[in-house]
Amino acid sequence: MLNGKTIAFLVAPEGVEQVELTEPWKAVKQAGGEPKLISTDSGQIQGFNHLDKAGTFAVDDTVDNADPASFDGLVLPGGVANPDFLRMQPKAVQFARAFFDAGKPVAAICHAPWTLIEADVVRGRTLTSWPSLRTDLRNAGATWVDQEVVVDAEGPNVLVTSRKPDDLKAFCQAATDVFGK
């Protein structure tokens, strides 16, 4: 149980794979946590079902204002455009890196490890992702494996990763378990 722990969900204004946002969000709430949507812009973000626009979601705070110290963990949903945008935003990259620097747990699915590569926090870690990131992760010093979910506790924090929406059940369970510790 998360017992009121606050978990940040970092997403771009457009391009997040909606189910990779909504399922972990629901899992955090069901475990007793408080999810907060953080983005680079205030207002709303646009979710996608692959390449088709889906729902919109209200932003709770921006990376300009949100203090990583006020969160107990971080979720990085995927989608191709979402992490590709975030990794080009220095404040978003700094926000993600702050969780590693503070030893806080992070969960990333699908293409989300692109943001972690930019934050330079995957070296020496074992993780998984959407298969097209395999070479990027290896080039950044990570060990890439093709598994439903990977929980790596070798670094300063625990890192949970999964490959795709089909892995969401295992991803959500592993992430809430790690956030609850």
Q: For the chain, how long is the longest CA-to-CA vector? A: 38
> Residue 179: is its pLDDT beyond 90?
yes
**Digit-coded pLDDT (tens) for 77-124:** 999 999 999 999 999 999 999 999 999 999 999 999 999 999 999 999
Q: Say whether domain 6-179 belongs to CATH 3.40.50.880.
A: yes
Average pLDDT over residues 164-180: 98
- What is the arithmetic mean of pLDDT over 37-49? 98
Q: Is 172 an active-site residue?
A: no
Residue 76 has pLDDT above 90, yes or no: yes
Rounded to whole angstroms, how far apart are CA atoms 71 and 120?
21
Q: Which entry of 37, 93, 110, 174 is annotated as an active-site residue?
A: 110
- In the chain, where do the E strands start and end? 6-11, 14-17, 34-39, 44-49, 52-58, 61-62, 73-76, 106-109, 126-127, 143-144, 149-152, 159-162
* Distance from C-alpha of 16 to C-alpha of 13, rounded to nearest angstrom: 8
Q: What is the pTM assigned to this prediction?
A: 0.98
Give 22's pLDDT tier (boundaries 50, 70, 90).
very high
CA–CA separation, 89 and 167 (whole Å): 28
Q: pLDDT tens digits, residue range 131-145?
A: 999 999 999 999 999
Among 129, 156, 175, CA closest to 31? 175
